A = this chain, B = another copy of it.
């Protein structure tokens, strides 16, 4: 995996990540394909919209259908019919947020499946073994994702565990090395000096890229913004920087400004299924009754399949009927919107006008569309 910075604009970077499965232009948004499918979409649709990489969740694929089966069937790319790059998380975040009865020990983490209650034990080595079996292009280390709020003392203690696990992940990876990449994760909660300390420890181990984890987990925006502002630009310059689980576009603007390159989030896809749609006029809730007879497209400035072919009245109708096509058309639109946003943001950085881009978008992102 190669990382090349093409242009800097302040701390904001426009770069490319070269993988054997294709180039990723950054800053990049990765749609989330939890079970190996970006919900409601085919891989071709994701590609046509313009996405170069997707994320898939190790926790889910490990439980169902199982990493051994995916390996046997030829790996994750063949299995899901997506032949571009794939990033897999370590499963840690889902163990902490979805599984029950989890018990963290220095050795690893024990938990019960949220699907069938079965008991599992994941170690750092196991997390890498699973991701090697899946065959993703970018793997993540197993960490402890500290919840918010957490006492400083607890966070401090947790960092030792996370650093220890990161080393074990790296060691295991070195022994079973192939051309997959492995990223380290920097924790530390909302405490800057702990983030700094965590970063030093993780960077020393030496990974192919670095992520900020444990943000957007319930802490006030100011705290998240402060941590990003003070830490992101200090992360290794010559490696990709990934802000895990963050995808609110306002947060993205802030993070890119301070040097983040990669994002993933369920916001565009989940909101789509819930009828919340992003437009150049602001956010729209498609179920609102004023769209009942609205013969105009969702977003007159949008060229997506949905906006080219359907009216707000029809999208509202499909939503009210809970039709599958509602989820499809809404997801296409939101993913298209996100993809164009990132594309234009990359152009802005390349042309040295990121600040203008940011200023232009803030009012749009703050706005809920209202026809009154």
Please list the residues of chain A having a beta carbon within 8 angstroms of any beta carbon in chain B: 35-37, 39-42, 60, 64-65, 69, 72-74, 79-81, 292-293, 295, 309-311, 313-314, 316-318, 320-321, 323-325, 327-328
Contact = CB atoms under 8 A, between A and B. Distances in A.
A81 B311 CA distance: 10
Nearest to A36: B317
B37 A318 contact: yes
Given A65-B292, A73-B311, A292-B69, A323 B37 contact: yes
Given A81-B310, A295-B73, A317 B41 contact: no
A327 B325 CA distance: 11
13 contacts: A35-B317, A35-B321, A37-B323, A41-B325, A60-B321, A64-B320, A65-B320, A69-B292, A69-B313, A73-B313, A74-B295, A79-B311, A79-B314
B35 A328 contact: no
Nearest to A320: B64
Contacts of A79: 311, 313-314, 317
B39 A324 contact: yes
A362 to B, nearest CB: 33
A318 B35 contact: yes
Counted per complex, copies of this chain come to: 2
Most buried by B among A72, A73, A325: A325
Contacts of A316: 65
A213 B318 CA distance: 29
Closest 8 CB pairs of A and B: A40-B324, A35-B321, A37-B325, A65-B317, A81-B309, A73-B295, A37-B323, A73-B313
Query: Which residue, A69, A81, A311, A314, has most C-beta atoms of chain B within 10 A?
Result: A314
Contact of A69 (B64, B293, B325): B293
A64 B295 contact: no
A323 B293 contact: no
Contacts of A311: 73, 79
A39 B295 CA distance: 22
Given A69-B293, A295-B73, A324 B328 contact: yes
Contacts of A73: 293, 295, 311, 313-314
B35 A314 contact: no
A311 B72 CA distance: 13
Nearest to A322: B35
Which of A35, A60, A309 has the largest count of B CB atoms less than 10 A from its CB? A35
Contact of A40 (B293, B309, B314, B325): B325
Nearest to A331: B324
A309 B60 CA distance: 22
Contacts of A64: 317, 320-321
Contacts of A321: 35, 60, 64
A279 B124 CA distance: 44
A251 to B, nearest CB: 27
Contacts of A295: 73-74
Nearest to A329: B42
Contacts of A36: 314, 317
Contacts of A317: 35-36, 64-65, 79
Nearest to A61: B317
